[in-house]
Structure 1
């Protein structure tokens, strides 16, 4: 990584990935599958996509290949997503 990526105000590679067309399509498919509802509380607003795991059954990372592993993703509202990550 270059030193410039660590400057305050510069977008991280993670944020850039969230804005990619591929990730947006994955999010759209997961939200559609989950009925546009949080799978914990049922809210239909402030929805985010959560990785239940970052690895497939063989132990390989699914990052960058999420479209092939939609079963490893779930729709959560912002509040429930925060709670899941706090545990």
Structure 2
């Protein structure tokens, strides 16, 4: 994505166009990890992030650029889905 000095938010948006971004990740865990607590950690998200896993809402962060994590364990599939 190109940097542009003339966007309305200027340096407040790091000279990048704003908008909604979606990130999707598919992963498989080893059976040896079953029974362990599994987390996802974010070093920082711009703002208004929502995190979902397997159709379960984990949470929303209205503020940005702060680290946070969610536990995934209760929502993981262990049957190959």
Structure number with the higher strand fraction is 2
Same fold (TM over 0.5): no
Per the shorter chain, which TM-score range? Answer: under 0.3
Q: Name the TM-score, length of structure 1 as normaliser.
A: 0.22
Higher relative contact order (CA 8 A, sep 6+): 1
Structure number with the higher helix fraction is 1
Q: Name the TM-score, length of structure 2 as normaliser.
A: 0.23
Larger radius of gyration: 2
